[in-house]
Structures are given as structure tokens and as C-alpha cells.
Amino acid sequence: MRGQEQASPRDTTRRRVLRAGAAGLTAGAVTGSASAATAGASAPGGRFTDKVVLITGATSGIGEAAARALAAEGARVFFCGRRAELGRRVESAIRSAGGDATYVRADVREESQVRAFVAACVERHGRIDVAFNNAGVESPRAVRLHEQSLRDMENVWRTNAGGVFLGMKYEIPQMLSQGGGVIVNTASISAEVGFATIAPYNASKHGVASLTKVAALEYAADGIRVAAFAPGAVDTPMLRRAAEAFGVTYEQIAQDYPIRRIVTAEEMARVMMWLGSPEAAPVVGTDLDASGGYLTG
């Protein structure tokens, strides 16, 4: 960090805490943007040709990047998000490129809406081959635990961990009835380590990792493979908001990663696609490190 040699030990420690807190906020429905304009163009013979892929939180960020990339490999994508305007835009872009995508507005905090979303996918396509539970939000305030509000804790928990729980609750019965399937959940480096001042997010992502392990153990023998992946800092609006809130730059955040850069939503989408493909058949219950080396040390 520039000027660090002039900083006091206390200031240096505080900056490290803030930088780490910003880096710990990754992934989810509200993250990201539609980058590659041509993403979503259908490619006959792709890994996901005619596979039905259900995605929560695909109106932007990693979810959107995954929807576009999956459609480009032949998947029939069925996705939700709370922001209808963005959802329709993503759906239209994928269809214009020759892909198959259907958007349904749904809030993963609401059980009735998750149940209806999953049912609508089955009604339209008859099955769910891969479910990608990705919807998520960040901690709204960077404050210590005793300053956190119960309202913020409940909202982040219900979206991030509760959304994964409800998603699997209704995806799994369909997969049991059809003889199997794959579920991929978006966790975070925050599921593996603690980050000061983002307790709601940190706790919720630990919940995602735990739910992944439990579901993997309970349903592996039924042909349902469940796994998660742990992004680090991803170039998305969520990270930009976090960096601004914590008063740090991308350059400073990147210093904590061995690869010395911030990864893209498209890179995370490729990780998700690998986990959802037959190539990852032996990967069960893990929270795959996709952090660019952050969790290595």
C-alpha cells in the first residue's frame, strides 16, 4: 500500500481489516454486470446441450455470466431475480443470441415464491438437471458485531443462506423423482475464514457451506451431487460498493491475493459450469477454493 511506511501500526492494522472486509464480500445476485456482449450465443454440441439449468439470482453478476455462458453451451436456462427489468434484459439478450432462457421474478427470501419458481421450471421443461443457487446480498454496513442490527442480520441470512436452503428444499424432490441431478451453491471465502465488520455476510456464507455439506451427505446415494465454490474478490458492483464503504481501492484489495488481481464474473461462471458438469463427478460436498490463492496461505 502506497504510503504504508508512514502509517502507524494502528492505522496499518485498521487498513488491513477494512481491506479484508471488502475482499470478503463476494458473489451473489446483486453483483456484477453484463459484460461480454456476445455471451449467450448458442453453440450446438456444448457440454450442456438440452440440459435444464435453474439459476437463482441471475439478473446480474456471476449469475448472469453463468446464464449467458450456459446458454452458449446449449443449456435451457431458467432463472430468477428480484429486479424484473434486469431479468427481462438478460433473457432478451440470451434469446437474441440464439440461446434458450426464461426469466421469472422471484425473491429467494420468500418460500412461496421459490416453490413457484421451481415448479414453473418443471412445468416448462419437465426436469432440472443442474440447479445453481447463487442469489445473495452483502452486509449493508461495515461495523463491529455489537453495532450490527438484527434486521440486517436477518435480511442477509434469509437471502444468502435461507435462499440456498429454500432452493434445495424444492429442487431436491424434483431431482429425486427424476433419478438425480447436480446442485451448485455460491459460497465465498467468507465461508472459510472470518472477516471483521461483515458479520451478517460472514455468518450467512458459513451457512451456505454447511448446508452444502449436509445436503451432499444426505443425497449422494440418490444420485444428487451437491457442491459449492468459494470466490474471492470478483469485479462486480457489490465489490465496488464494498470498496467504497471500506475506503480501499481494487489495487489494495488485490495485494492480499497471490494472483495480484481481481477476477471476473465470467471466470467464476466457468468454475460453476465445471462443477455442474460430469467432469466434476467426484467433487461432492466441498466448497471449492476459487479465490485466486487467498485461502492457500
Give φ, ψ of 4 to 5 degrees.
Answer: -65, -30
Active-site residue flag, 103: no
The one-letter amino acid code at 186 reads T
Helix (H, G, I), strand (E, B) or coil at 174: helix
Reported in sequence order, the residue ranges of 41-159 that DSSP labels E, i.e. its strands, are 52-56, 76-81, 100-105, 130-133
Cβ-proximal residues to 195 (8 Å cutoff; 6+ apart), any chain = 20, 21, 23, 24, 201, 202
C-alpha cell at 34: 453484463
Q: CA-CA distances (angstroms) from residue 192 to 76, 149, 256, 286?
A: 32, 23, 16, 11
Query: Which helix (H) or strand (E) is 33 found in, with range?
Result: none
Residue 3, exposed/middle/buried by CB under 10 A (0-12, 13-18, 19+)?
exposed
Catalytic residue among 201, 219, 257, 294: 201
- φ, ψ of residue 275 in degrees (nearest 5): -60, -35
How many residues appear in the chain? 297
Cα–Cα distance measured from residue 235 to residue 36, given in angstroms and rounded to the nearest whole number:
14
Instruction: Evaluate whether 139 touches 194 at the Cβ level (below 8 Å).
Output: no
Q: Shortest CA distance to 230 belongs to which of 206, 214, 246, 248?
A: 206
- The grid coordinates of residue 117 equal 419458481
Active site residues: 201
